Amino acid sequence: MLSFKRAFKFIFCLTLVVGLVKVGYSEQNQGLSDSGGLMSSSQSGELSFTLPYEGLSAKLGKRFIKGHEQFDEIWVLAPAPGVWGLGPTFNEANCVGCHPKNSRAQPAKDGAEIEKGNVIKLGHRGAKGEVVPSHPWYGDQLQNRAAENRVPIEGNAQVTFEYSQFTYPDNTSVTLKRPIIRVKNLNFGDLDESTVVSMRIAPQVIGLGLLEWVSEQNLLEIAERQKKEGLSGRPNYVIDLETERAVIGRFGWKAAQPNLKQQTAVAFHSDIGATTFFFPEKNCPQIQVGCRELPSAAKCGGQGGCTGNNFRPEVLPSRLKNITTYLQALNIPERRIEDPEETLAGEILFRDSGCASCHVPTLVTGENTILKELNNMSFHPYTDLLIHDMGEQLSDHRPEGSATGQEWRTPPLWGIGLVNTISGSLGLLHDGRAASIEEAILWHGGEALSSRQKFVDLAKPERERVIKFINSL
């Protein structure tokens, strides 16, 4: 039997050959069924979130394969054999630990520990009520794992759910659940009422390159159009650490990161504990003396111990570049339309309910893509990459960039119908509370309340058509 790595390389080479036919794909042939435009794939199996764009050059193809290997590689604690740089405190030991098969993490179950792609974000409320998205003792993310017998973990968290019933006008009912987080086993002091706690689930990572390449002007035009519709969608302006400029954020649940390279560096630092040139210091708050004093792989030469004085990032620039290319070049599965008439009816209802105002069907790349044929290309992610007020029920009271606690980025809907097949379960919204598309819709509030109400007022067969349409994306 072929190993996964050999099988993947075989599929990659095969898709490069098939891709020669698709490179000449014209704009007029790009229908909504081709979610990623040229970067669309007919595959819909368990590996459909891992396949590359067929038109990659030889150079980019090699970088993609290397990036895929490095995305899966397990990090270790120096000086053990392997990729040095894990911890000293961390949540996972590799990227795929949070994004299995590039899909969403499995949502935390009632009464379970929060782990494996589910993390706890922290904040601290000051005397005047202002919230800083970090805790003085535990940083911005609770680390539930650590270098064994060297430093302690920061703590653990457990989730239970508070259940409620929602009843439609036709007396159909749906069970909704709201997460209640209990932080425990803390090693650096108890949390008090000033602490803000927010659970997050790792999303799927397909189509990120296309989202990165949308021009800022395209997004600003959408925001202006939404104002005329009474919506308050707006960009989350954040700092690009390379240029030191304020730019539009695109990635993360609150669009707090401007590009894939910086998003990847943040994940390495927060989830794995590895340093980069973006984040050269270990992820150790001041109070965690043992963590700060433990020798870092950033001071290791790779062969002769960990006592060097020259900084060497644990995530080398080449690794960051490879993984960024890997994420940029992943294909997007085509829509799966089994019943065209019902799906089209659901799409019309989706639009008429106002859902498409924020889940914008079509965006266009600019001229900064990795290949010329991807420039100025339409694709169909069903997002506007803007942040919106989603109401108090979804608020985590924790700001990021210019986003408030109630504001969240509109998540792309493409591939949503395959998540259950690939991940084995479905957890939607920022904390995975919604086990179905219907539950996610019913949690919409704030400026999405009107669209939610229009959905609620539909007859049951019409609601089912809307869900069928979303599952086809």
- How far is 39 from 206, CA to CA, in rounded Å? 10
Sign of the Cα torsion 271, 5, 332, 419 reads negative
Q: Is 248 helix (H, G, I), strand (E, B) or coil?
A: strand
Report the C-alpha dihedral over residues 422, 428, 429, 431, rounded to 10 degrees.
-80
pLDDT at 26: 31
Whether pTM exceeds 0.85? yes
Evaluate the CA torsion angle 346, 352, 354, 356 in order and state its sign: positive
pLDDT value at residue 295? 78
Residues of the chain with pLDDT under 70: 1-31, 297-310
Query: If phi over 0 gives left and psi between -120 and 50 gives alpha, with beta otherwise, what is residue 462?
Result: alpha
Classify residue 269 by its DSSP letter. I
What was the pLDDT predicted at 202? 98
Do residues 442 and 452 lie in contact, with contact meaning Cβ atoms separated by under 8 Å?
yes
Contact status, residue 350 vs residue 343, Cβ threshold 8 Å? no
Cα distance between residue 250 and residue 260, in whole Å: 9
pLDDT at residue 298, rounded to an integer: 62
Q: Which helix (H) or strand (E) holds 350?
A: helix 340-352
Cα–Cα distance, 279 to 241 (Å, whole number): 10
Which conformational region is residue 337 in: left (phi greater than 0), alpha (psi within -120 to 50 degrees), or beta?
beta
End-to-end CA distance of the chain: 33
C-alpha span between 76 and 84 (Å, rounded): 5
Strand order in the sheet with 131-132: 131-132, 118-125, 195-201
The structure tokens listed for 63 are 């970088």
Q: What is the pLDDT of residue 8?
A: 52
Compute and round to an integer the Cα radius of gyration of the chain.
22
Whether omega before 179 lies within 30 degrees of 0, making that bond cis, reads no
Q: What is the pLDDT of residue 14?
A: 45
| Residue 330 β-bridge partners | 52
CA distance 155 to 145: 8
Contacts of 337 (CB under 8 A, 6+ apart): 33, 343, 472
